[in-house]
């Protein structure tokens, strides 16, 4: 009851910063979308006064009919029905990932920490936070190597330059943009 109350009134930190909160989110995603669901994207963001919000688009990995759901202040809401438009020989699962493919999101807290450390070291900026993490598939498959991406957004706590760090499915660093 206390945890639910804290979540509703905006308490709690960044759920993607620690394994415990992330494990709870994974279980909720499985409950809301199905044990073997496929996703086109899962985005977790943090806002003061709200806490961590999650937007996920997913459903049956073999279907082009998906649901976008939002979790905010501890409450899940259906936001939209999404239909994948697929050309040629592609199938819905070519544009989706499963939680197993990203090891139930377990690598996210480590990538957030590594991203902050990388920006601190390379850009000589301190007091950084990550306000958003996104796991997504490309909306088109144009070249071999188009694959799942994990994007970590890092910025100074008090505002300033935002940095976007991209990782592949295995959690290997690809590039940093700002």
pLDDT tens by residue, 67-117: 999 999 899 999 999 998 888 888 998 889 999 888 778 889 999 999 999
Query: Structure tokens of 140?
Result: 């088109």
Could you report the per-residue pLDDT of 120-157, keeping only the tens digit for each? 999 999 999 999 999 998 766 555 556 889 999 999 99
Name the band, by pLDDT with cuts 50, 70 and 90, for residue 3: very low
Distance CA 162, CA 103 (A): 27
% of the chain exceeding 70 in pLDDT:
89
* Contact yes or no for 153/130 (Cβ under 8 A): yes
pLDDT of residue 143: 54
- How many Å apart are CA 166 and CA 143, to the nearest integer? 18
- The boundaries of the domain holding residue 149 are 2-177
* H or E, element range at 119: helix 108-123
If one counts the domains in the chain, the total is: 1
User: Which pLDDT score is estimated for 140?
Assistant: 61
CA-to-CA separations, 125 to 47, 84, 162, 175, in angstroms, rounded? 21, 41, 11, 18
8-state DSSP, 95: G
Nearby residues of 60 by Cβ (< 8 Å), 6 or more positions away: 34, 37, 38
Most confident range (mean pLDDT) of 12-16, 21-25, 37-41, 170-174 is: 37-41
Nearest partner of 149 among 167, 162, 170, 174, judged by Cα: 167
């Amino acid at each position: 009851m206390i945890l639910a109350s804290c979540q509703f009134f905006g308490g709690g930190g960044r759920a993607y910063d620690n394994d415990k909160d992330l494990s709870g989110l994974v279980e909720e995603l499985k409950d809301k979308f199905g044990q073997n669901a496929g996703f086109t994207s899962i985005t977790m963001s943090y806002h003061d006064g709200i806490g961590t919000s999650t937007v996920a688009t997913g459903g049956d990995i073999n279907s082009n009919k998906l649901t976008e759901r939002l979790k905010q202040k501890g409450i899940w809401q259906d936001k939209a029905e999404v239909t994948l438009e697929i050309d040629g020989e592609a199938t819905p699962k070519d544009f989706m990932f499963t939680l197993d493919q990203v090891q139930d999101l377990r690598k996210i807290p480590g990538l957030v920490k590594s991203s902050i450390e990388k920006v601190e070291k390379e850009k000589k900026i301190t007091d950084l936070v990550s306000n958003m993490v996104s796991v997504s598939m490309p909306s088109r498959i144009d070249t071999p190597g188009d694959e799942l991406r994990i994007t970590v957004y890092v910025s100074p706590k008090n505002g300033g330059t935002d940095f976007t760090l991209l990782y592949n499915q295995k959690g290997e660093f690809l590039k940093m943009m700002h």
